[in-house]
Amino acid sequence: MTIDDKLRIMESAPDILLELLHEIPANLYKIIRKPGKWCIHEHACHLYESQLMMIERFKTFKDVRNPSFTPYLPGSLQTPGSNLLVMDLHKSLEDFNTDRKELVKYLTTFTAEDWGNEGIHPEYSIYTPAIFLRHIMMHDHLHMYRIEELWLTTDDYL
């Protein structure tokens, strides 16, 4: 896959998420199906909230050669988590869509050198904007899968 292919997939994530959420009855959004795990609302809001970190990481990759990063661990001491359950879902979805379009547009300014700028990240043996782009693409779809799983999976199989 090319960078352009990945950018198209990444840009489509807000539309896929909206389509999915429109199929799910809203009264199911905040039901905790499995103790200690996020509900549909939390997964959707996390996609917006984590994107703020992603935007900053790409800016750092663009502006700094061989940058160092701190792991993003929502809810940990290093990255205090917000209370996803009380976030405004409608606003989070709108902002996710707007910010994602701006991010994709910004990423089209990356040169081959920018895409290959290797950063230092304690979780990963190799960390470049190109790898991070793929990581985001998969992250989006993982959370959308979790949303669908929470909606459709029966209690016996959850």
Distance of CA 122 to the CA centre of its chain: 20
**Assigned CATH topology for domain 3-157:** Four Helix Bundle (Hemerythrin (Met), subunit A) (1.20.120)
**48, 96 Cβ separation under 8 angstroms:** yes
- Short-list 6, 9, 38, 11, CA closest to 103: 11
Tens digit of each residue's pLDDT (9 = 90 or more) over 95-112 = 999 999 999 999 999 999
pLDDT at position 80 over 60: no
pLDDT at position 152 over 70: yes
Q: Could you give the CA distance from residue 124 to residue 145 in angstroms, rounded to a whole number?
A: 24
**Per-residue confidence (pLDDT) for residue 138, from 0 to 100:** 96
pLDDT at position 82 over 80: no
The reported pTM is 0.92
Calculate the alpha carbon distances from 120 to 3, 103, 126, 127, 129 in Å. Answer: 21, 22, 8, 6, 11
Q: What is the mean pLDDT of residues 7-33?
A: 97
Q: Could you give the CA distance from residue 84 to residue 41 in angstroms, rounded to a whole number?
A: 8
- Number of CB atoms found within 10 A of residue 45's CB: 24
**Token code pair at residue 123:** 């979780």
Q: What backbone torsions phi and psi does residue 121 show, to the nearest 5 degrees? A: -140, 125
Q: What is the mean pLDDT of residues 7-32?
A: 97
Tens digit of each residue's pLDDT (9 = 90 or more) over 114-133 = 999 999 999 999 999 999 99
Q: Could you give the CA distance from residue 7 to residue 133 in angstroms, rounded to a whole number?
A: 8
pLDDT at position 77 over 60: no
Q: Largest Cα–Cα distance of the chain, in whole Å?
A: 50
